[in-house]
Amino acid sequence: MLIVFLPLTPSAVVSYVQSSNALHILHSGEAPIAELPRDSGELVAIIPWSVLSWHPVTLPPGNQNRINPVLMGLLEDHLLEEASNLHFALAPNSPVHKGGKTQVAVCAKTWLREALAPFESQGLTPQRLVPELCPAPSASEQQLHWMGSPEHPSIVWSNDTSVLSLPRQSHQWPSLGYEPEQPPTHCYAEPALLSLANALVPTCQIQTSAQRGLLACHNGWDLAQGEWEQSTRLRGWRQLQQTWQSFIYGDQWRATRWALVLILMIQIIGLNAWAWHINQQREAQLQILKRALNESFPAVKVIVEPLLQMRGELARLQQSKGIEKNDDLDVMLSTVGQYLSPGATPTAIRFENGQLHLEGLDGPTLQKLSQVNWAQYHYEWRQESQKAILSATVQP
């Protein structure tokens, strides 16, 4: 994954974060857009918090096909610019079909086009547009961020309805709804501002801009809507990738991953044990055949394939004693003759490699022969159109 921070003003050099699993930072820094890594997978663009405004709305039901005009009408009295010049993005899982309360992120279309143009000119099209900060999921999960430099710090409060910039003088915060006596559960400061932040909120933790960008990729928001909307297929593939990465690297799936590894190991051990058991049985049967061959035909000194060698020795013994075999032509003809009706004579007979080919038999005769239990004679019967084939099988 490659995360790029869209600059407030067009620039050829941008900050970026590279991650192999969307959870840990591999590289971070600044680079010209033309020199950004091209083999990092998904490209995510971070929209600065300062260019976004947030608005709660109540959507009417059944307006999923004309959501932009609906949002313009709902927010017209709350916007400082013409609604047609603004880009609207609905919160994830907004009730666009049945209607209901949700939030809308708004930014200027012109700014967004100009910010993305340098990337698109280099053949880089972000798959997601993610807000750097967004409203907290609930009042108990509010966040306070200290970012920038000690000379010009930005103090940003993410509450459950909006993202607000707080003045540096903390005594002014209550007028904006923030109570310093009840600080948010989560407070983060960039390294240069940690001491300043801890003077007001002692529980602040260090969070670099790169870490903030990586976390933003998991806030659920995607402003690639309307003019910047991706295809349904691409969105589905991206969701599949995110789910897979979450399963492979997410802490919440750790127990499941260990369970799957354990199940796989048990399966492998079980298969190996079963294979060993089968091999032992096969080896035991092979030893029995070897002993039988040695006892029956002591002249055989070298045993490689005991079953085939025993069949060969039996065939030679039968031949030397004049014993008829079931694959002899006269034996096969005699057996077939038992079931031929008077006058039913094949027009052609061919014998080859223990197979008797009969041609020219009529339909009723072929049907009668197909119903014979040939297995009792160690034969196999099959029929191909008007031709029948009787094959000798190996006797046990």
- pLDDT 10s digits, 95-141: 888 889 999 999 999 999 999 999 988 888 888 999 999 999 888 88
Element (H, E) at 33: none
Element (H, E) at 46: strand 43-47
User: How do the domains of the chain map onto residue ranges?
Assistant: 2-134+221-249, 139-205, 251-323, 329-392
Among 197, 185, 183, residue whose Cα is nearest residue 153: 197
Whether 246 has a pLDDT exceeding 80, the answer reads no
Q: State which amino acid sits at residue 351.
A: F
pLDDT at 50: 94
Torsional class of 150: left (φ above 0), alpha (ψ -120 to 50), beta (otherwise) = alpha
Whether 44 has a pLDDT exceeding 90, the answer reads yes
Q: How far is residue 193's CA from residue 375's CA, in Å, rounded to a whole number?
A: 92
CATH of domain 2-134+221-249: 3.30.420.380
- pLDDT 10s digits, 185-239: 789 999 999 999 988 888 899 999 999 999 999 998 999 988 888 655 655 665 6
Enter the pTM of the model.
0.59
pLDDT at 130: 95
Give the pLDDT band of residue 321 (cuts 50, 70, 90): low
For 316, the token pair is: 């030679």
Q: How far is residue 140's CA from residue 121's CA, in Å, rounded to a whole number?
A: 43
Whole-number percent of the chain with pLDDT over 90? 31
DSSP string of 300-362, one letter each residue: ----SSHHHHHHHHHHHHHHHHT---TTSHHHHHHHHHTTPPTT---SEEEEETTEEEEES--
Q: Assign 14 to helix, strand or coil.
A: strand
What mean pLDDT value characterizes the chain? 84
Q: Which residues contact 38 (CB under 8 A, 6 or more apart)?
A: none
Q: Assign 271 to helix, strand or coil.
A: helix
